[in-house]
A and B are shown apart, each in its own frame.
Chain A
Amino acid sequence: MNGRRTFLRGFVSVLLSGGAIGGILEILPSKADAREVPPKGQKWYGFGVSVDKCIGCARCMEACKNENNVPREPFFFRTWVERYITRKNGTTVVKAIGPNEEQLQEAASDKSILRSFFVPKLCNQCASPPCVQVCPVGATFQTKDGVVLVNEKTCIGCRYCIQACPYGARYLHPVTHTADKCTFCYHRISHGLLPACVEVCPTQARVFGDLNAAASPMSRFLRMNKIHVLKPGLNTEPKVYYASLDGEVR
């Protein structure tokens, strides 16, 4: 009897002291979370993608790798473009494109295509980023203008953030051995320039701007389109907004 009582006492005390504290600390928002609405005048960057305008030329992919010194091998991408083909029989096939892919001269099989389009993807710079939440050393964080960055000096390369990203936006840089991803070309936007991918897009399928600005291409984009985000059910609050996003896109 005594053993059981002491056990229960010990169990509860450990739970209260160890387990509960650990558990409560778990759900505390990390210092890097900026869930509050930013104050007036504070920039809060967002991105817009018009799926209907993308021609799948992949110039954005080239420009990004060029501007940000991303390894040229096809395994590391800060941004990429997916091609969706939905056929009349209901199947959907997806492929990531590269520049000058064997353009499908499918004159005959055109008939079986029901819908087809390109979808540019990049880091969604979530307002509630799961990658920031799981970083054990606080190497990845959210700036006050809403961009999620990685501090490559303190990143220990545990790859937890890469696992936590629902969008596949992160990769481990093969040279620095730290996590890497799209930064909205932070070094450009902080000097008033546009991100490289937005710069070179020939059809204005990519739009970038301050979500708080009163009049800008970004605010028009948000007004004139039905807006979607990727994987809204995961509540990551992405800040890359898609217009005319098809339901087949994940």
Chain B
Amino acid sequence: MNPEFIHTLHELLPQIQGYIYPNEIEIHWGLLIVVYPYITGVVAGAFILASLVKVFNVKEVQPLYRLSLLTALAYLLVAPMALVAHLGHPERFYEILLTPQTSSAMAMFGFVYAWYLMAVLLLEIWFVHRTDMIAWAEQETGVMRFIHRTLALFSRDTGERAVAFDHKALKVITIVGIPSAFLLHGYVGFIFGSIKANPWWSSVLIPIVFLFSAIVSGIALVILLYMVITPLTGGKISMKCVDKAVDFLFYAVIVDFSLELVDFIHRVYQSEEEIKILSEMVMNKLFASLIIVQVLLGMLVPLTLISLTKIFWRRFHLNEDLRKMVYFIAVILIQFGIFATRWNVVIGGQMFSKSFRGLTTYKMEFGGIEGLLFSIALLALPIVILAVLTKILPPWEEMHSQPDSEGVEVAGS
């Protein structure tokens, strides 16, 4: 038994308010389980953004296409790490593949859709880059040449038939990928939403809210990455692209906010037994993370900022730098807001007792696998992976391109 762990629990004892079942003092799903839905949310959101280009032919956001795909892949690779690290027995994770229980959302949905989306993402990235990899391999030597030739599956065919197939396959894969991206994050919501024991989680709306907040965070993150990486790699930010992407972000935030508002109104109106302890929890324990960060800073402020750029269109249209700054602030705030959303759902759901009579506290560790440092590393890791991916599959030509509103085709589509 870890004496430090027991010591932490002893410290929690005086912080209990009211009555909790004795076993509830330990908060079981901590920071790692907050990080996981945040990361998979970005995957879903980034993929949806990529689909906007391919399926709905929104040419203005073309510069974001490859970036979104690579971002989605980078985050998808890190997501299972958070889960496996959290297990009491990480070395037994394979049990979920050998004897999965058909009634468990964690077993069935998790792996079906994670692997599904992995397959879809990998296929899409492959088809997008196949002809490019062939071209690059011809110009390179040594390791990079070998990497590109292997990744292209030693293909050398750039003929019309092959390229036409590439395009067709891309379209189909993206279409098929959209619902699987929806389901990837919808299932995370279902994992919480299906727990009848927990009234903070048990709700039909949770999978939908999770999904839309995922879309919001993904789109916002890709915009953020684009706005940071493009100038850093010697390109010019295309305001047409960013404006259009922010439009979609705006719609997504409105839907997300409305859904959360509906959930809130519904709970308060129905006023079931648990409303007393839940209100107490929100006003006492979750005030900062919910009211301030999630709602005010994460949703209302960005919504207002973006609305302002639309209402005072003339002023913002002329001043590009002002617009960039407003967007930048908005997308950063949104990241914090969505992370806070995950926090409030996961940690909030465990801070109140199922006896409805008490509250406990989450003590976040600093070191160790459940600690802040490890989670920060996990959140930074996808950026590192993205850097590696951009070295192997550089998206610069597309990212630095400047589409105009007539939808001029640019390289790579």
Q: Which of A134-157 contact B (CB under 8 A)?
A: 134-139, 154-157
- Is A136 a contact of B104 with CB atoms below 8 Å? yes
Within 8 Å of chain A (Cβ to Cβ): is B267? no
- A163 close to B197 (CB less than 8 A): yes
Q: Which one, A42-50, A169-177, A200-208, A210-218, is touching chain B? A: A169-177
Contact with A along B137-180 (1 / 0, CB 8 A): 00000000000000000000000000000000001100110111
Give the chain A neighbours of B266 by CB distance below 8 A.
none
Q: Which of B20, B24, B87 contacts A157 (CB 8 A)?
A: B87
Across the interface, which residues of A come within 8 angstroms of B86, CB to CB? 158
B195 and A164 form a contact (CB under 8 A):
yes
> Do the beta carbons of B197 and A164 come within 8 Å of each other?
yes
Q: Is A38 an interface residue (CB 8 A)?
A: no
Q: Quick check: is A178 within 8 A (CB to CB) of the other chain? A: yes
Report whether B89 and A96 are in contact in the complex, using a CB–CB cutoff of 8 Å: no
Report yes or no: A167 in contact with B179, Cβ–Cβ below 8 A: no
B385 within 8 A of A: no
Complex contact B57–A28 (CB within 8 A): no
Cβ-based interface call for A71 (8 A): yes
Could you give, for residues 1-27 of chain B, a 1 whenever the CB lies within 8 Å of some chain A CB and a 0 otherwise? 110011001000100001111111110
A177→B88 contact, CB < 8 A = yes
Instruction: Check: A68 CB closer than 8 A to any chain B CB.
Output: no
Report Cα–Cα, A175/B197, bound state, in Å: 26
CA distance A96 to B179 in the complex (A): 48
Question: In whole angstroms, what is the CA distance A138 to B99 when docked?
Answer: 7
B236 lies within 8 A of chain A by Cβ: no
Q: Which of B25-61 contact A (CB under 8 A)?
A: 25-26, 28-29, 55-57
A170 to B197, CA, bound (A): 13
Is A166 part of the binding interface, using a Cβ–Cβ cutoff of 8 Å? yes
Chain A 15-35 interface residues, beta-carbon cutoff 8 Å to B: 15, 18-19, 22, 25-33
Q: Which of B166-206 contact A (CB under 8 A)?
A: 171-172, 175-176, 178-180, 183, 187, 191, 194-198
B112 CB-CB contact with A under 8 Å: yes
Say yes or no for A228: interface residue by CB 8 A criterion: no
- Confirm or deny: A73 has a beta carbon within 8 angstroms of a beta carbon on chain B: yes
In the complex the two chains form, is B179's CB within 8 Å of A155's CB?
no
For residue A77, CB closer than 8 A to chain B, the reply is yes
Name the CB-closest residue of A to B201: A163
Report if B248 contacts A (CB, 8 A): no
B109 contacts the other chain (CB 8 A): yes
B104 touches A18 (CB 8 A): no
Would B112 and A18 count as touching, CB distance under 8 A? yes
- What's the least CB distance linking A3 to chain B, in Å? 6
Is B315 part of the contact surface with A, judged by Cβ < 8 Å? no
What are the residues of chain A within 8 A of B98 when measuring CB–CB? 137
* Given A96-B22, A174-B2, A134 contacting B195 (CB threshold 8 A): yes
Query: When chains A and B are docked, how far (Å) is the Cα of A86 from the Cα of B18?
Result: 14
Are B26 and A158 touching (Cβ within 8 A)? no
B179 with A136: CB separation less than 8 A? no
A75, A76, A160, A165: most-surrounded residue (chain B CB, <10 A): A75
Does chain B have a CB within 8 A of A125? no
Pick the contact of B109 from A22, A95, A158, A162 — CB < 8 Å? A22
Write the B346-366 contact mask toward A (1 if CB under 8 angstroms, else 0).
000110011111000000000
Q: How many residues of A contact B (CB 8 A)?
A: 66
Residues of A within 8 A of B93 (CB): 156
Q: Which residues of the other chain, B, contact A99 by a CB distance below 8 angstroms?
A: none
Q: Which residues of B contact A169 (CB under 8 A)?
A: 23
Assess whether A250 is in contact with B95, with CB atoms less than 8 Å apart.
Answer: no
Q: Which residues of B contact A11 (CB under 8 A)?
A: 175, 178-179
Task: Tell me, yes or no, whether B314 is within 8 Å of chain A by CB.
Answer: no
Nearest residue, chain A, Cβ from B57: A3
Q: Which residue of A lies closest to B357 (CB)?
A: A94
Q: Is B387 an interface residue, CB under 8 A from the partner?
A: no
Which residues of the other chain, B, contact A31 by a CB distance below 8 angstroms? 101-102
Structural contact, B89 and A155, CB atoms closer than 8 A? yes
- Chain B 72-116 against A: per-residue CB contact (8 Å), 1 yes, 0 no? 000000000000001111101101101111111111111011001
Cα(A237)–Cα(B361), bound, Å: 31
Chain B CB count within 10 A is highest, among A7, A76, A82, A178, for A7
A160 and B33 alpha carbons, distance in the complex (Å): 11
CB-CB under 8 A from B103, the residues of chain A are: 25-30, 33, 133-134
A130 within 8 A of B: yes
Q: How far is the CB of A247 from chain B (nearest CB, A)?
A: 12
B227-252 toward A: CB 8 Å interface, digit per residue (1/0)? 00000000000000000000000000
Q: State whether A167 touches B354 (Cβ < 8 A).
A: yes
Known contacts A96-B22, A164-B197, A137 near B105 by CB under 8 Å? no
Q: Would A77 and B195 count as touching, CB distance under 8 A?
A: no
Taking a contact as CB atoms closer than 8 A, the residue among A13, A29, A158 that contacts B88 in the complex is: A158
Given the known interface contacts A30-B104, A136-B107, the answer about A10 and B176 at a Cβ–Cβ threshold of 8 Å is: yes
Q: Are A157 and B354 in contact (CB under 8 A)?
A: no
Query: Contacts of B355 on A, CB cut-off 8 Å?
Result: 94, 168, 250
The answer to whether B101 and A135 have CB atoms under 8 Å apart is yes
Known: A154-B99, A164-B195. 14 other contacts (CB 8 A): A10-B172, A11-B179, A18-B180, A25-B103, A29-B103, A74-B13, A96-B21, A134-B105, A137-B98, A138-B99, A156-B92, A165-B197, A168-B21, A168-B353
20 A-B pairs, CB-CB below 8 angstroms? A3-B56, A7-B55, A9-B175, A18-B112, A27-B103, A31-B102, A75-B9, A96-B21, A134-B106, A135-B101, A139-B95, A155-B88, A158-B88, A159-B28, A160-B104, A163-B349, A168-B354, A172-B26, A250-B354, A250-B357
